[in-house]
């Protein structure tokens, strides 16, 4: 039996291809439209985000059920001595609390470890990727949980929104409430702090947003010896590509991962959103 299985949920924006390559199980959250309910990894994201731009219908999201979470954990326990679930912040969904309840009552609860990433989207993904990069066949759960908790304290994400409309509509406003009422020409910059949406600042253009991100990375530093960035977007490939190229030019030694923003995350942040996440120094 292998030592440690890694689990996360789709709030992390870990794509299906990335999860398969890194042997990570992803608990699926849902996007709920007027007529359908879609698992994150089953959603046609380009069509979905394009539709959001023109539709007046309001999509909602739903996290996985207790039964679904327990099924994934139990399946992984059949293959691994211990499983480590890196969960979305309880400030966004109930998955962390649900998993904690499962651990408490599961007959193999001593083999289940849970870490609150205190984040969602790219910042959460950065924690998961840091742990996946550290995993070796001989790694113990203590080794990997230590990596995860260290990454939680250093993971950062700067998200450039087209507007706060979708975040306010979905109720995930957190500390970003202070940015409400900004002119339509302003691009809010947000991230995750202590498990809820929090403001970084505001700019007038996407170009200024990229400049802000590059300066913050320089200021906060990069984790070594294997630095990486995760660039994600919700129907804004142009600025995701601009960010990717700027990061390559500025930090040539760093790996850069490009992923689409998961549907459940993009539903709350809206089309036109893009972000950069990393593990700071």
Note the CATH architecture for domain 2-34+42-46+61-153: 3-Layer(aba) Sandwich (3.40)
Q: Establish whether domains 2-34+42-46+61-153 and 154-279 are of one fold.
A: no
Handedness of CA 243, 247, 249, 254 (dihedral sign): negative
- The pLDDT value given to residue 178: 53
pLDDT for residue 179 is more than 80:
no
Mean pLDDT of 135-164: 96
CB 26 within 8 A of CB 12: yes
CATH for 154-279 (3.30.420.40, 3.30.1180.10, 3.40.50.12780, 3.20.20.140):
3.30.1180.10
Any idea where the domains of the chain sit in the sequence? 2-34+42-46+61-153, 154-279
The per-residue pLDDT of the chain, averaged, comes to 92
pLDDT for residue 18 is more than 80:
yes
| Poorest-pLDDT segment among 7-16, 128-137, 161-170, 227-236 | 161-170
pTM over 0.85: yes
pLDDT for residue 198 is more than 80:
yes
pLDDT for residue 47 is more than 80:
yes
Q: Which of 162, 254, 187 is nearest to 217 (CA)?
A: 254
pLDDT for residue 169 is more than 80:
no
- The pLDDT value given to residue 181: 54
């Amino acid at each position: 039996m292998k030592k440690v299985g890694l689990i996360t949920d789709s709030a992390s924006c870990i794509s299906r291809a990335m999860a398969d390559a890194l042997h990570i199980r992803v608990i699926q959250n849902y996007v709920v439209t007027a007529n359908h309910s879609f698992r994150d990894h089953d959603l046609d994201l380009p069509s979905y985000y394009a539709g959001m731009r023109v539709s007046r219908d309001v999509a909602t999201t739903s996290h996985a059920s207790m039964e679904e979470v327990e099924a994934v954990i139990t399946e992984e326990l059949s293959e691994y001595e211990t499983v480590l679930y890196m969960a979305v912040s309880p400030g966004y969904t109930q998955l962390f609390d649900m998993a904690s309840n499962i651990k408490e009552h599961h007959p193999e609860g001593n083999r289940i470890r849970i870490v609150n990433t205190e984040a969602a989207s790219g910042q959460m993904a950065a924690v998961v990727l840091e742990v996946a990069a550290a995993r070796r066949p001989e790694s113990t759960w203590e080794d990997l949980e230590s990596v995860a908790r260290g990454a939680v304290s250093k993971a950062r994400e700067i998200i450039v929104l087209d507007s706060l409309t979708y975040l306010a509509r979905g109720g995930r406003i957190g500390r970003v409430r202070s940015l409400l009422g900004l002119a339509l020409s302003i691009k809010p910059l947000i991230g995750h702090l202590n498990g809820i949406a929090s403001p970084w600042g505001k700019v007038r253009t996407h170009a200024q947003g990229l400049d802000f991100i590059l300066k913050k990375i320089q200021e906060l530093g990069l984790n070594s010896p294997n630095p990486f960035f995760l660039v994600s977007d919700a129907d804004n490939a142009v600025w995701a590509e601009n960010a990717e190229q700027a990061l390559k030019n500025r930090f040539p030694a760093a790996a850069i991962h490009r992923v689409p923003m998961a549907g459940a995350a993009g539903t709350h942040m809206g089309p036109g959103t893009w972000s950069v996440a990393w593990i700071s120094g």
